[in-house]
Structure 1
Amino acid sequence: MPLLGNLIVTIITSLVAWLAKYLTQKTAVTIAIVAVISALLLALYAAVRVAMSSAIAGLGSVHPMFAAGLAMVISPATQQCITGYIAMWSLCELYKWKFTIMQLWSRTI
């Protein structure tokens, strides 16, 4: 009986150790993927905001009549609209990319 008990304890211990290693590895990779995706999305958002702000600030150096014409065509909310549009599509592409990465990653583990 002690031999059977020792075998059961060894099997359960090795199973728990393997499960802990597997879940720890999976969690670490998932956290790393989420961190990278978040950083890339934040960088994309900042780049779009800087590009739009510099373009709008550059309009101050043009002829006043040209600036007035642009102001009639381009709404003051254009920067927010373009930023929202780009952010929405980048989120869609990011989701598809993340889904593909997760599928490939799940096949390797």
Structure 2
Amino acid sequence: MPVLGTLLFNMFTGLVAWLAKYLTQKVAVTVAIIAIVTVLFVGLYTATRAAITAALAGAGALHPMFGAGVSMVISPHSGALISSYITFWSLVELYKWKVNIMQLWSRTI
């Protein structure tokens, strides 16, 4: 009986250790992906905002009324909206790419 108890204890301990290692790796990868996406989104937002500001300044330099007209068309939230749109579709394409790789991998088995 002590041998059976030791066997069950070791199997349970090994399972818990493997599960903890697997989950911590998964959490670490998820946190890294979220951090990378956040940094890229902020960079994209900054670049988009700079491009919109430069476009508005350039339009205002041509003629004040032209600059006012462009300011009416381009919303103050355009940078965030464009950046969100690009980030969202980049993540969708990444997901589709991962699904295709998993489908190809499952066909080889």
1:5 and 2:10 aligned: no
2:33 is the alignment partner of 1:33: yes
Q: What's 1:71 paired with?
A: 67
Q: What's the Cα RMSD here?
A: 2.6
* CA displacement at 1:28 relative to structure 2: 0.5
Alpha-carbon separation, structure 2, partners of 1:32 and 1:43: 17
State the alpha-carbon separation in 2 of the partners of residues 34 and 93 from structure 1: 15
TM-score, normalization by structure 1? 0.74
How far apart are 1:77 and its partner, in Å? 5.8
Query: What is the percentage of aligned positions where both structures have the same residue?
Result: 35
Q: Which runs of 4+ in 1 moved over 3 A?
A: 100-105
Deviations 1:50-89 (A, max 9, x none): 11222323445x3xxx413413532346152532441242
- Structure 2: 5+ residue runs without aligned partners? none
The residue that corresponds to 2:46 in the other structure is 46
Q: How many residues align?
A: 102
Is the CA contact (8 Å cut-off) linking 2:59 and 2:70 kept in structure 1?
A: no
Q: Say which SS state the counterpart of residue 39 (structure 1) adopts.
A: helix
- TM-score in terms of structure 2 length: 0.74
Q: Please tell me whether the aligned partners of residues 59 and 67 of structure 1 are also in contact (alpha carbons under 8 angstroms).
A: yes
Q: Work out which structure has the larger RCO, using CA pairs closer than 8 Å and 6 or more positions apart in sequence.
A: 1
How many Å separate the matches in 2 of 1:42 and 1:72? 28
